[in-house]
Amino acid sequence: MPELLTTDEAADYLRLSERKLYELVAERAVPCSKVTGRWLFPRAALDRWVSAGLIAPAGLAQVAAPPIVGGSHDQLLEWALRESNSGLASLPEGSEEGLRRLPRGEVMIAAIHLHRLDGDDETANLDAVADAPGLHDAVVLGFARREQGILVASGNPLGLSDMASIATTRARMAQRPPGAGAQLLLLALLARAGIALDDLKLAKPAFPTGPDIAQAIRAGRIDCGIATRSVAKSAGLDFLPLAWERFDLVMRQRDYFMKGPQALFHFMRQAVLRDRAAELGGYDVSDAGAVRLVN
């Protein structure tokens, strides 16, 4: 059987009527492309579509994922969700939690930035999605590269510079929830520096987002924490750069063509996103919307 199926071949392959298949095409629920006026269906994509449980016994009914972007928090993404009129809400709980919710159908998109204790962080997001159970039909889109660093009060009163200085000065250090990208980065930096987590004076409880850390530093409740340059700039805090990272969006292939995600993806390609990224600082959005992985 050919790798690209015609409409009648795809209908036979899926054991559907052509009318039902056309209905699915109209709903953008089935993977296909229109080439010179004809619909073509990649057989491998159809296999993944079926394996993902998109075809239910009772009339191909499927429960759509709620229009929610789970995973990591990001100021530029939060702004883009509003300005694009996507209708997508935000549920920032950390990268790994977003990846757990995605295959359960509890979010439509997961925003992630993952780090390894050792190895190449550049591919950490892609490797995690490729290996994740239940995400064999996932697609990963680039949103931005972001600059992460240590946030400190204006003037850096403790003279902090790196993980070693934070440990030796016993500076009050923010931590993020387990599985959050910034927490994974903290653990990776400590491992590379040969410092144990217990060597730090960690503030409790964990801080949900970067802006929460910034507010605590401004209020004098903590001395430092890891967040993005954009968070530091917005809060008027000093920023000690650590690393640039990939911040990606993960979704099921079936949701890629939904109205909300498409509105967001269209907006991501506009100049207004680049202008906002430059205004916030610490972003590179040259690859925004680029497909980085199709499982």
Q: Which residues contact 191 (CB under 8 A, 6 or more apart)?
A: 117, 118
Are both 213 and 106 inside the same structural domain? yes
pLDDT, the chain, mean: 91
Tell me what pLDDT residue 49 has. Answer: 74
- Asked whether 14 and 31 are in contact (CB, 8 A), the reply is no
Give the C-alpha separation, 150 to 246, whole Å: 18
Residues 134, 259 within the same domain: yes
Range of the domain at 12: 4-51
- 46 & 69 share domain: no
203 pLDDT exceeds 90? yes
Tell me, yes or no, whether 37 lies in a domain. yes
For the record, the structure tokens of 155 come out as: 């003037």
Say whether pLDDT at 2 is over 60. yes
My answer on whether 164 and 224 are in the same domain is: yes
In DSSP notation, 3-65 reads SEE-HHHHHHHHT--HHHHHHHHHTT-S--EEETTEEEEEHHHHHHHHHTT-S-TTTT--PPP
Neighbouring C-alpha atoms within 13 Å toward the C-beta of 130: 8
- Tally the domains of the chain: 2
In this structure, are 47 and 87 located in the same domain? no
Residue, of 40 and 245, whose pLDDT is higher: 245
Contact 264, 251 (CB under 8 A): no
Confidence (pLDDT) at 119: 66
Considering the domain boundaries, does residue 173 fall inside one? yes
The total of other beta-carbon atoms located within 10 Å of residue 203's CB is 19
Mean pLDDT of 78-96: 96
- Domain match, 262 and 176 both: yes
On whether residue 243 sits in a domain, the answer given is yes
How many Cβ atoms from other residues are within 10 Å of residue 258's Cβ? Answer: 23
AA letter at 189:
L
CATH number at residue 14: 1.10.10
Cβ contacts of residue 78 below 8 Å, gap of 6+? 90
| Better pLDDT: 203 or 59 | 203
pTM: 0.79
Is residue 60, in this structure, part of any structural domain at all? no
| Chain segment 92-134, per-residue pLDDT in tens | 999 999 999 998 899 999 999 999 887 678 899 999 998 887 8
246 and 108, same domain (yes or no):
yes
Residue 121 and residue 209 in one domain: yes
